[in-house]
């Protein structure tokens, strides 16, 4: 008995050697493919571009320093949540992807879509486009979504490979845990989509100019810090491309700036499909001219358009869900039918040319340059950028990969319109060949590591044989085999 136990002790001691070596070699193996595309897209709803400077946001600033930052992102009109979220994952303007507002009516389907009642699950509203999670899956990959708007809707008969049904009460930490579980599972996702409701909720409630917004923004910065900490813990940090963005900004409203439709229009003459700051108006049969004429001269801070006269730059015209008349309030003005209705201190939805409607955009990861600031981009360009990172073929869209290519470190020398060839400005940017040499080095390292592991196994097995333990054969396969497989 005594002899047996001392040999077992020896066996255990020796077992540690190959185990430690394997543990040392394994993380290196995962960097064997530094180009393995992995993308995590994170959106904090209603995070205005300049919230970054309102209070200290060290985690956001760290991403900017070790990654890229775009100062002005022109999102799409209308600057509401669902239209912009669908643009991020399709690269299409609202008139083309079909989610033209948070509240819509489709006269052909004779159906309504409403965020207020979470009445958004009708597939038909979504199927003019194919979101990136589906295209990614069709290319043989897996996508995972933690509450990203639209990801729990069945679109073209499909859901994301992994997703959480929407539930506002699920804490951020739980969403992060799911995303990390999916990225590190046996059949890992290569595309993760993570959504958080703030600072939009509090922005509406307090108004963006409230000093209390500072606490809200600090809290979001802590959430980003938590996400980064968990990604590091899961050994995903450094191999994954993290993109942090938002759908829109927020502007301060006031009870002094209310436009009350009841003062001008008879409710029997129209149906109000969407309210503020872009009132979508469906006149009743035969009432179009009267409703339009009345409203056009109603209020100096309300600009009224017939659908076919909506400015070209909004790309908000050619869709039957855009109502025959839209009335767009000036920034900071609020449209209601009756003043007795609820009022919010902060809102968005206004002209997408207004800086206060613009979201943040930062990214860090192996594909991105470091400490690089870009002045501006269109949010439609995110989609082709994502497709490039995931190495999948983009469906037709309204963005341009060329316009955002300079965010990437492997951006090939480009030819500018004036014919001059430009190379990326930063010294850290490495051409492709260097990256390949780097991966040869990894390969050699891993090979040497593996050979060492094998040598130790041989010594270990020899030791076992010499120890003449009668039950060695039983111990050996159980303990050693999992290591051989690792």
The residues carrying an active-site annotation are 81
User: Taking a C-beta distance cutoff of 8 angstroms, is the pair 368, 409 a contact?
Assistant: yes
Q: Residue 331 CB, nearest distance to Zn ion (Å)?
A: 15
Tokens of 463: 């030791």
**Region binding ligand NAG by CB under 6 A among candidate stretches 22-30, 138-146, 278-286, 394-402:** 394-402
Q: Report cis status (omega within 30 of 0) of the bond before 277.
A: yes
- By CB under 5 A, residue 274 contacts Zn ion: no
The single residue among 376, 423, 436, 481 that binds ligand NAG, judged by CB under 6 A, is 376
User: Taking a C-beta distance cutoff of 8 angstroms, is the pair 227, 176 a contact?
Assistant: yes
d(CA 211, CA 220): 15
Angle (CA) 354-360-361 rounded to 5° is: 125
CB atoms within 10 A of CB 42: 24
Q: Residue 349 CB, nearest distance to ligand NAG (Å)?
A: 14
DSSP string across 186-221? SS--SEEEEEE-TTHHHHHHH-TTSTTHHHHHHHHH
User: Taking a C-beta distance cutoff of 8 angstroms, is the pair 82, 120 a contact?
Assistant: yes
Q: Residue 211 CB, nearest distance to Zn ion (Å)?
A: 20
Q: Residue 3 CB, nearest distance to ligand NAG (Å)?
A: 56
**Region binding ligand NAG by CB under 6 A among candidate stretches 201-209, 393-401, 460-468, 471-479:** 393-401
Tokens of 447: 């090979």
Q: Residue 158 CB, nearest distance to ligand NAG (Å)?
A: 20
- Please identify, using beta-carbon distances, which residue of 5 and 169 lies nearer to ligand NAG: 169
The single residue among 396, 443, 454, 477 that binds ligand NAG, judged by CB under 6 A, is 396
Q: Which does 378 bind (CB under 5 to 8 A by kind): Zn ion, ligand NAG, none?
A: ligand NAG
Annotate each residue in 171-200 with x if it binds Zn ion (CB under 5 A) or - if it does not, as one string.
-----------------------------x
User: Taking a C-beta distance cutoff of 8 angstroms, is the pair 345, 206 a contact?
Assistant: yes
Q: Residue 348 CB, nearest distance to Zn ion (Å)?
A: 6
- Please identify, using beta-carbon distances, which residue of 228 and 344 lies nearer to Zn ion: 344
Q: Residue 438 CB, nearest distance to ligand NAG (Å)?
A: 21
- By CB under 6 A, residue 403 contacts ligand NAG: yes
- By CB under 5 A, residue 351 contacts Zn ion: no
- Please identify, using beta-carbon distances, which residue of 298 and 480 lies nearer to ligand NAG: 298
Largest pairwise CA distance in the chain = 102
- Helical axes 172-184 vs 213-233, angle rounded to 10°: 20
372-378 vs 68-74, strand pairing mode: parallel
Of residues 226-265, those binding ligand NAG (CB under 6 A)? 262
- Please identify, using beta-carbon distances, which residue of 75 and 137 lies nearer to Zn ion: 75
- By CB under 6 A, residue 416 contacts ligand NAG: no
Name every residue whose Cβ is closer than 8 Å to that of residue 107 and which is 6 or more positions away in sequence: 282, 320
- Please identify, using beta-carbon distances, which residue of 81 and 130 lies nearer to ligand NAG: 130
- By CB under 5 A, residue 356 contacts Zn ion: no
Name every residue whose Cβ is closer than 8 Å to that of residue 326 and which is 6 or more positions away in sequence: 278, 279, 280, 281, 304, 305, 307, 310
Q: Helix or strand or coil: residue 391?
A: coil
Tokens of 262: 């009841």
- By CB under 6 A, residue 55 contacts ligand NAG: no
Q: Which position has the token pair 């054969």?
A: 473
- Please identify, using beta-carbon distances, which residue of 221 and 351 lies nearer to ligand NAG: 351
Q: Nearest to residue 201, comparing CAs of 45, 80, 358, 360?
A: 45
Number of residues that bind ligand NAG (CB under 6 A): 25
- By CB under 5 A, residue 95 contacts Zn ion: no
CB atoms within 10 A of CB 447: 11
- By CB under 6 A, residue 18 contacts ligand NAG: no
**Region binding ligand NAG by CB under 6 A among candidate stretches 47-55, 286-294, 349-357, 369-377:** 369-377
Phi, psi of 68 (to 5 degrees): -120, 160
Of residues 309-338, those binding ligand NAG (CB under 6 A)? 315, 330-332, 338
Task: Kindly tell me the burial class for residue 389, based on how many C-beta atoms sit within 10 Å of its own C-beta (0-12, 13-18, 19 or more).
Answer: buried
Q: Establish how many alpha carbons lie within 13 A of residue 305's alpha carbon, considering only the half-sphere containing its beta carbon.
A: 17
Q: Residue 237 CB, nearest distance to ligand NAG (Å)?
A: 18
- Please identify, using beta-carbon distances, which residue of 135 and 142 lies nearer to ligand NAG: 135
Of residues 198-257, those binding Zn ion (CB under 5 A)? 200
d(CA 146, CA 41): 10
The footprint of Zn ion (CB under 5 A) covers 200
The footprint of ligand NAG (CB under 6 A) covers 65, 92-93, 96, 110, 167, 169-170, 262, 300-301, 315, 330-332, 338, 340, 371, 376-378, 396-398, 403
């Amino acid at each position: 008995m005594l002899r047996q136990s001392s040999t077992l002790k020896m066996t255990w001691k020796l077992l540690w050697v190959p185990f430690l070596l394997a543990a040392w070699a394994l993380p290196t193996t995962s960097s064997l493919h530094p180009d393995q595309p992995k993308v995590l897209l994170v959106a904090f709803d209603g995070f205005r571009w300049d919230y970054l400077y309102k209070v200290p946001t060290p985690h956001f600033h760290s991403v900017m320093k070790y990654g890229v930052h775009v100062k002005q992102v022109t999102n799409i009109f209308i600057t509401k949540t669902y239209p912009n979220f669908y643009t991020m994952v399709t690269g299409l303007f609202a008139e083309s992807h079909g989610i033209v507002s948070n509240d819509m009516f489709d006269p052909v389907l004779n159906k309504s879509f409403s965020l207020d009642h979470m009445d958004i699950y009708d597939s038909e509203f979504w199927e003019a486009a194919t979101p990136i999670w589906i295209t990614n899956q069709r290319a043989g990959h897996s996508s995972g979504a933690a509450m990203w708007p639209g990801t729990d809707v069945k679109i073209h008969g499909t859901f994301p490979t992994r997703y959480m049904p929407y539930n506002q009460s699920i804490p951020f930490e739980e969403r992060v845990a799911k995303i990390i579980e999916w990225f590190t599972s046996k059949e890992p996702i290569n595309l993760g989509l993570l959504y958080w409701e703030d600072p939009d909720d509090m922005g509406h409630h307090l108004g963006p100019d409230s000093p209390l917004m500072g606490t809200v923004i600090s809290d979001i910065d802590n959430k980003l810090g938590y996400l980064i900490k968990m990604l590091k813990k899961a050994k995903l940090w450094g191999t994954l491309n993290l993109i942090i963005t938002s759908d829109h900004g927020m502007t301060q409203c006031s009870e002094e700036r209310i436009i009350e439709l009841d003062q001008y229009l008879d409710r029997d003459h129209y149906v109000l499909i969407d309210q503020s700051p872009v009132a979508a108006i469906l006149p009743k049969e035969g009432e179009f001219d009267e409703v339009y004429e009345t409203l056009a001269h109603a209020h100096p801070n309300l600009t009224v358009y017939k659908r076919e006269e909506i400015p070209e730059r909004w790309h908000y015209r050619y869709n039957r869900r855009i109502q025959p008349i839209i009335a767009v309030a000036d920034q900071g003005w609020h449209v209601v039918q009756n003043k007795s209705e609820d009022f919010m201190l902060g809102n968005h939805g206004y002209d997408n040319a207004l800086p206060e409607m613009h979201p943040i955009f930062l990214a860090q990861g192996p594909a991105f340059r470091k400490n690089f600031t870009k002045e501006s981009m269109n949010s439609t360009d995110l989609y082709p950028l994502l497709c490039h990172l995931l190495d999948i073929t983009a469906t037709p869209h309204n963005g341009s990969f060329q316009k955002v290519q300079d965010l990437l470190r492997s951006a090939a020398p480009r030819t500018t319109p004036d014919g001059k060839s430009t190379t990326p400005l930063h010294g850290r940017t490495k051409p492709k060949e260097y990256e390949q040499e780097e991966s040869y080095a990894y390969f050699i390292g891993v090979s040497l590591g593996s050979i060492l592991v094998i040598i130790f196994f041989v010594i270990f097995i020899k030791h076992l044989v010499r120890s003449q333990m009668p039950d060695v054969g039983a111990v050996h396969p159980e303990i050693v085999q999992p290591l051989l497989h690792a």
